[in-house]
Amino acid sequence: MLTVEKAVLLDSLTWLIRAVPVRPNIQALEGIKIEIKSDNTITLSAYNNELYMENTIPATTKSEETIIIPGKLFFEMIKSTPSSKIEIKKDEKLNKFVILGDKTRFTINSILPEEYPAVLEKGEKQGKVDSENLFAAISKTYNASNHDESVPVLASVKMSFIDNTIQYDSTDRFRLAKAVGSWKNENNLKSDILVGSRGINELSKAFREKGELDIFLKKGNNDKYTTVAFSTPDKLIILPLLNVEKFPPTDTLFNDKHETVVTVNAKHLLESLSRAKIVSLKNRVMLDFDEMQVKITAGEDGDIGSTEESIQARIVGASKKVIYNIGYLQDGIAPIESKNINIKMNEPQRPNEIVALDENGKELSDYRYLIVPISS
């Protein structure tokens, strides 16, 4: 049926295996589909409810056929085979597939094609996006989504396509991250879509190579987009979309007027927060903004210890004492590459905003982060 280089096949399976569900709701989804083509290529694909992945690789083929075999077992077989080349053929007597190396022979059951469910479709091409630009924006917004999926619409990242920019928004109601990136809008697209955060996180892990990705959108019967896809010449990932109309409005939460603006070194603050996290069992830290410094205090009654330190800052406006969730504050600062940031505050319990500054001290507009303080 086919012969393929082990290293090439193993690389493809390592990339695909993340889309094979551990406990599938449909048993056939434990399979990896292999489409054997007459042009000496094979396309391998895997699918779960949140992610469809496919990869086309070179192989020596003798027929056109589609086979489906248990994915994780197939992966372990290939990984353990010492040969440099792998041959896969069908044993008609056993009605199984045989995986041959130089000195090894595995047999594996197949899954009937009719048992495999319909997979996601990629739709119409809309444009291109630079992979580094895309994943930088995802890294800035993913952490602010609701990872436990108790409220599915918040376990997501909203993508807004406007001219040649993409705006990314995510929130779990305790913080809000907004990032802006660029893309090549080839189809005059202007639309909002909502992507599940788990799927978009897998997307950012899967496409490590630098370069451009094609973006596709598929419309359903109600004229609303149902999938978004990203591809290179040999790889494709398709993600299902959530109902974007249920995503809460976010732009109105930003305030252009603030009682206090604190400019502080981002790296120094992150280092202090890491030390505070060591002693705070409740993951809480107090920041006292006063007299050209920020005092960082952590450790309460019942905690295993406490810490207190100060770092230099420039403070414009009224002095403030604010308690934050340490992890949430770290998530907002960590993606920032600039040396300094502004922390902007108003009355108690109103969200505080974090923005990056350029070398001249001007606020950058490609990333904004809101965090709700903790009541004392």
Closest CA to 81 of 29, 19, 18, 4: 4
**Distance between terminal CA atoms of the chain?**
68
Residue 45 · residue 117 · CB < 8 Å: no
Which fold does the domain 124-251 belong to in CATH?
Answer: DNA Polymerase III; Chain A, domain 2 (3.10.150)
What pLDDT does 208 receive? Answer: 73
Q: Which two tokens stand for residue 166?
A: 């993409």
pLDDT single digits (tens) 200-233: 988 988 887 779 999 999 999 888 999 999 999 9
CATH 3.10.150.10 segments of the chain = 2-115, 124-251, 254-371
Q: For the residues 18-26, what does the mean pLDDT come to?
A: 90
Question: In the prediction, which pLDDT does 246 show?
Answer: 93
User: Could you tell me which of 318, 309, 364 has the C-alpha nearest to residue 345?
Assistant: 318
CB 158 within 8 A of CB 194: yes
Is the pLDDT reported for residue 133 higher than 80? yes
Beta partners for 241? 195
Average pLDDT of the chain, as a whole number: 93
pTM, entire model: 0.92
* Residue 336 confidence (pLDDT) above 70: yes
Single out the residue of 274, 278, 255 nearest to residue 266, CA to CA: 274
In tens, the pLDDT along 40-54 reads 999 999 999 889 999
Distance CA 164, CA 161 (A): 7
**Beta strand segments in 74-164, E:** 85-91, 96-100, 105-108, 124-130, 156-162
Helix (H) / strand (E) containing 201: helix 197-206
- CA–CA separation, 55 and 16 (whole Å): 8
Q: Which CATH number describes the domain made up of 254-371?
A: 3.10.150.10
Does residue 307 register a pLDDT over 70? yes
Tokens of 256: 């252009």
3-state secondary structure of 183: coil
Task: Tell me the pLDDT band of 265, cut-offs 50, 70 and 90.
Answer: very high
In angstroms and rounded to an integer, the radius of gyration of the C-alpha atoms of the chain is 25
To the question of domain 2-115 being in CATH 3.10.620.30, the answer is no
Task: Return the minimum-mean-pLDDT range out of 11-20, 234-243, 302-311, 363-372.
Answer: 302-311
